Amino acid sequence: MTHDEARTIITNRKRELGDKLIILGHHYQNDDILEYADYVGDSLELARKASRIERAESIVFCGVYFMAETAAILAPGRAVYIPDPAAGCPLADMAPPAEVLAAWDAITQVTRSVVPITYVNSTAELKAFCGRNEGAVCTSGNARKILAWALEKAGKIFFMPDRNLGRNTARSLGIPDGEIVEWDPGAAGMDRDAIAKARVILWKGWCPVHFPEFSAEDVSAIRTRFPGIKVIVHPETDPATVAASDLSGSTAMILEYLASLGEGQKVAVGTEAHMVYRAARANRFRIDVVPLKEVYCEDMAKITLEKLAQTLSRLESGQGRVEVAPDIAEHAMKALDAMLRI
């Protein structure tokens, strides 16, 4: 199928299905795809949108699998599709539920006063685990609020799976590094004293697009090259990179920051390059946006025009439909609902 054929199929199917169909797209998708999205956002905005769908019977999610799975949980009764179910997230895969349960057992043998929080970049099983244990989900857009809530509730957090988002957020809440420990699933466990003393226990996972790709050295190199440049990074970069930058925030927060800058400002953005180049084009007459480094998420890039066209032309076949087992969906919904309420 050529690009032009794919475009014709997508346009015709969208016209045919009208408001029975909604296409959601994440900021990391390429321009070709986002041209057809009815709504574009960060993970939090997309989750909120999915929970408030009114007319659409079918949701086609242009993003990675955990995002489509989250939409399927938040929009019961709608059919959710992803144009390529193999578009996964290596960070989400770093916390297999069986390993998390073993860690949880060890932690709760020391104390019951602990709240499990999972970053939305995780499997539905992990979200269900948090729901069953009175925890919550968070995104990079609301992590600070959710962690503050959990600390207030129990004084101790078990945060999965992104060690960088966890530490960056904990630091922003004033928690010293001495009260943050990392649970390494590859190690033999953790001593009881370390569990008892910690306020934040981080799962040792990371996003390979943001870490170790971006570094504090990249930030100082770009500052030397362009004196006066501002630097904003995604909080999946490590704490040293965040500390070297002017600001960190979710993809939506990065776009808001760019909109707030005065004319003529030069700014480097440390996140996925499709989004950075799109922001550079959108702001080109006002500010100068450059990537801190050119890094792409291969999984996000698995969604192509051709796959979107195929999905739309075969919705009735169920191909690419994302389904979550009822028991998992019920408990994952509790954790997502807690996030949306806090």
Q: What is the DSSP letter of 321?
A: B
Residue 90: name its binding partner from ligand SF4, ligand 13P, none (Cβ under 5 to 8 Å by kind).
ligand SF4
Instruction: State the alpha helices, DSSP H only, in the chain.
Output: 3-17, 31-34, 43-51, 65-74, 90-93, 97-110, 124-132, 143-154, 163-172, 192-197, 216-225, 239-244, 251-260, 273-282, 305-313, 326-341
Pick the binder of ligand 13P from 30, 237, 251, 304 (CB under 6 A): 251
Sequence-distant (≥ 6) Cβ neighbours of residue 193 within 8 angstroms = none
Sequence-distant (≥ 6) Cβ neighbours of residue 148 within 8 angstroms = 173
- Indicate the residue among 91 and 287 with the shorter CB distance to ligand SF4: 91
Residue 139: name its binding partner from ligand 13P, ligand SF4, none (Cβ under 5 to 8 Å by kind).
ligand 13P
Does residue 140 touch ligand 13P according to CB under 6 A? yes
Q: How far is the CB of 236 from ligand 13P (least distance, A)?
A: 5
Cα gap 315→304, rounded to integer Å:
16
Does residue 121 touch ligand 13P according to CB under 6 A? yes
- Indicate the residue among 100 and 233 with the shorter CB distance to ligand 13P: 233
- Yes or no: say if 73 and 315 are a contact pair by the CB < 8 Å rule: no
Does residue 279 touch ligand 13P according to CB under 6 A? no
- Indicate the residue among 29 and 250 with the shorter CB distance to ligand 13P: 250
Pick the binder of ligand 13P from 207, 328, 329, 336 (CB under 6 A): 207
- Phi/psi of residue 305, each to 5°? -60, -40
Site string for ligand 13P, 18-57 (x = CB under 6 A): ------------------------xx--------------
Does residue 303 touch ligand 13P according to CB under 6 A? no
Does residue 250 touch ligand 13P according to CB under 6 A? yes
Does residue 70 touch ligand 13P according to CB under 6 A? no
Pick the binder of ligand SF4 from 44, 91, 268, 276 (CB under 6 A): 91
Does residue 46 touch ligand SF4 according to CB under 6 A? no
- Indicate the residue among 88 and 97 with the shorter CB distance to ligand SF4: 88
CB atoms < 10 A from the CB of 237, how many? 30
Q: How far is CA 13 from CA 16, 136, 319, in A?
A: 5, 37, 16
Task: For the chain, give the number of residues.
Answer: 342
Residue 250: name its binding partner from ligand 13P, ligand SF4, none (Cβ under 5 to 8 Å by kind).
ligand 13P
Q: Of 180, 191, 156, 133, nearest to 334 (Cα)? A: 133
* Half-sphere exposure in the Cβ direction for 78 (13 Å, CA): 27
Where along the sequence are the contacts to ligand 13P (CB under 6 A)?
A: 42-43, 121, 139-141, 207, 234, 236, 250-251
Where along the sequence are the contacts to ligand SF4 (CB under 6 A)?
A: 64, 89-91, 121, 207, 209, 236, 272, 297, 299-300
